[in-house]
A and B are shown apart, each in its own frame.
Chain A
Amino acid sequence: MEKIDIITGTTAAAMAAKLSNVEVIAAYPITPQSHCVEALAKYVADGELDAEFVKVESEHSAMATCIGASATGVRTFTATASQGLALMHEMLYIASGMRLPIVMLNTNRALSAPINIWCDQQDSIAERDSGWIQIYAEDNQETLDSVVQAFKIAEDEEVLLPVMVNIDGFILTHTVEPVAIPDEEKVREYLGIYEPKHAYLDPDRPITQGPVGVPECYMETRKDLNDAIEGSREVIKRVNEEYYKLFNRKYGNGLVEGYNLEDADTVLVAMGSVCGTIKYVINELKEKGKNVGLLRIRTYRPFPKEDVVEMLKDANNVAVLDKNISLGFNMGALGIDVSSVLKNKKVCNYIVGLGGRDITPQDIEEIISHVEGAKDGETKWINLKE
């Protein structure tokens, strides 16, 4: 039987890691993530979770520890944000290259300088090409469900890749919402025990993980990695359906979620918590007789190319919102990606909410009215002070 708790996004992620019976957690505190590993440390100290909690001296060491732990064949979890994620950078590539199904909560926070602890998505976007699957949750319930699903996806034998669950700093991490907590036994039965067949360190069966990849084989391992993340789309969709059958919650098709797309001439494309604000505006406008749609990108990598093309086929005005900026390109990463898959369609890019700048319903309405009169390829920074 599910019970409902009123909790923050970080607590939801910690509860999900506990439900998933993680065996090793290695973490370093950083705002706005700290509550997550604080809660996990307490579960371990109180004997509620039988896991090894490794306190490390930096995020680089946190990820290195997770890599070592995962290579021994145990379920591994960590959490970070912003500068912490940036410090993990080189280790992220090793985790994916070694095909270790580590799950990490990243609480989206701006990167320095100037130093800023508030929300935008520049940190995870900077790790776009690291070979990690990236999921962006819209609310605290989805945070909990996504962390559980992340283990199922990561450990799938066709995938074997690390998964980063991203939630907007403060907007989700420090806001309480009602969250349904699934039954622990049911989650553990669903996930089973992680028993890797491809690799684990065992003195009785010596193997070499992470060897030198000489020019004769390196390119093939990269292609193999790309095939794995490309193929993970089907697994993500399947897990979304399985989860729905067991726990009665689903998020679009797992990769994308459409909202009011039917007969919508203008469609917004966005990721994360801002989608909640967009849905509110869509409902308000609908009452006034105006039809606007939302395409929420839930899985940013692998990028849902086919879904984006299919679900936006009837839209004439596409407005892509980015909480990040590709400096020197004057577009956000999602704007660039959506533009590259949509041919012969008006796509405009809106840079919003950098470093915790609020994104209000009025901002969303401004974007809608702008895109309807704009030319293809325009980029506009929203709510920028003169």
Chain B
Amino acid sequence: MVTIAAIIYEPGSTNKNKTGSWRTFRPILDNKKCIKCENCYIFCPEGTIYEDKNGDFKINYDYCKGCLICVNECPVNALTSTREEK
């Protein structure tokens, strides 16, 4: 059942909406080629790229919509893309 007027009574509901399913192309980051310039991290419009505890950059595929801006911005071609398939 939906709530009246589809009102959301708890904050933070966007976390529940995993927009990764919208993706047609998946960006793939090769950490061996990565020079840690942070361009992808800065340009990602959804904030789905993060630095892990080892200092490596990772992509959160739960929310990455596959816009591929990161692929476009990477100066060393460490980011490539592939079509999502079932």
A interface residues (Cβ-Cβ under 8 A, vs B): 97-99, 160, 198-199, 206-211, 213, 217, 220-221, 224
Contact status of A199 and B6, CB under 8 A, knowing A208-B13, A220-B1: no
- The 5 tightest CB contacts between A and B, nearest first, are A208-B8, A99-B5, A220-B2, A206-B11, A217-B2
A209 to B2, CA, bound (A): 13
Q: Which residues of B are interface residues toward A (Cβ below 8 A)? A: 1-2, 4-11, 13
Residue pair A207, B4 in contact (C-beta under 8 Å)? no
Beyond the given A208-B8, A208-B13, A209-B5, please list 5 additional residue pairs across the A-B interface where CB-CB is below 8 A: A160-B4, A198-B5, A207-B7, A211-B6, A211-B13
**A199: chain B residues within 8 A (beta carbon):** 4-5, 7
User: B4, B6, B7 — which one has the most chain A CB atoms within 10 A of its CB?
Assistant: B6
In Å, the complex CA distance between A383 and B46 comes to: 64
Give the residue name and chain of the B residue nearest to A216 (CB).
B2
A198–B7 CB distance below 8 A: yes
Cross-chain pairs A/B with CB under 8 angstroms, 12 sampled:
A99-B4, A99-B5, A198-B7, A199-B4, A199-B7, A206-B11, A208-B8, A208-B11, A210-B5, A211-B6, A211-B8, A224-B2
B8 touching A97, Cβ below 8 Å: no
- Number of A-B residue pairs, CB cutoff 8 Å, is 38
Q: Is there contact, CB below 8 Å, between A217 and B6?
A: yes
Cα A98 to Cα B5 in complex, Å, equals 5
- Please pick, from A208, A211, A224, the residue contacting B4 in the complex, using a CB distance under 8 A: A224
Closest residue of B by beta carbon distance from A219: B2
Q: Which residues of A contact B4 (CB under 8 A)?
A: 99, 160, 198-199, 224
CA A221 – CA B9 in complex, angstroms? 16
CB distance from A283 to the nearest CB of B (A): 47
Q: Which residues of B contact A98 (CB under 8 A)?
A: 5
In the complex, chain A residues whose CB is within 8 Å of the CB of B13 = 208, 211
Q: Can you name the residue of chain B whose Cβ is closest to the Cβ of A205?
A: B9
Complex formed: what's the CA distance from A217 to B13 in Å? 15
Q: Which residues of B contact A198 (CB under 8 A)?
A: 4-5, 7
Residues in A neighbouring B2, C-beta threshold 8 A: 217, 220-221, 224
Q: A208-B13, A220-B1 are in contact. Are A213 and B7 (CB under 8 A)?
A: no
Complexed CA–CA distance, A99 and B1 (Å): 17
Chain A residue at minimal CB-CB distance from B11: A206
B12 to chain A, nearest CB (A): 9
Q: How far is the CB of B21 from chain A (nearest CB, A)?
A: 11
Q: Which residues of B contact A209 (CB under 8 A)?
A: 5, 7
Q: Distance (Å) between the CB of A222 and the closest chain B CB?
A: 10
B8 — which chain A residues lie within 8 A by C-beta? 207-208, 211
Nearest CB to that of A97 among chain B residues? B5
Chain A residues with CB below 8 A from B9, complex form: 207
Which chain B residue lies CB-closest to A157?
B4
Q: Chain A contacts of B5 at CB under 8 A?
A: 97-99, 198-199, 209-210, 221
CA–CA, A160 to B13, complex, Å? 25
CB distance from B13 to the nearest CB of A (A): 7
By a CB distance below 8 angstroms, the chain A residues around B1 are: 220
Residues in A whose Cβ lies below 8 Å from that of B6: 211, 213, 217, 221
Tell me the bound Cα distance from A198 to B13 in angstroms.
Answer: 18
Would you give the shortest CB distance from A97 to chain B, in whole angstroms? 6
- With A and B bound together, what is the CA distance between A206 and B8 in angstroms? 9
Q: Find chain B residues with CB under 8 A from A224 CB.
A: 2, 4
Q: For residue A207, which residue of chain B has the nearest CB?
A: B9
Q: In the complex, how many angstroms separate the beta carbon of B83 from the nearest chain A beta carbon?
A: 24
Q: Which residue of A lies closest to B5 (CB)?
A: A99
A221 to B4 CA separation, bound complex (whole angstroms): 7
Tell me the minimal C-beta distance from A61 to chain B in angstroms. Answer: 22
Q: Given the complex of chains A and B, what is the CA–CA distance between A198 and B5 in angstroms?
A: 9
Cβ distance A224 to chain B, nearest Cβ, rounded Å:
7
Chain B's nearest CB lies how many Å from the CB of A204?
12
Which residues from chain B contact A99 at a C-beta distance below 8 Å?
A: 4-5
The CA-CA distance from A99 to B8 in the complex, in Å, is 14
A99 to B2, CA, bound (A): 14
Tell me the smallest distance from the CB of A70 to a CB of chain B, in Å.
12
Residue of A nearest to B9 (CB): A207
Bound-state CA distance A188–B24 (Å) is: 58
Q: Chain B's nearest CB lies how many Å from the CB of A290?
A: 51
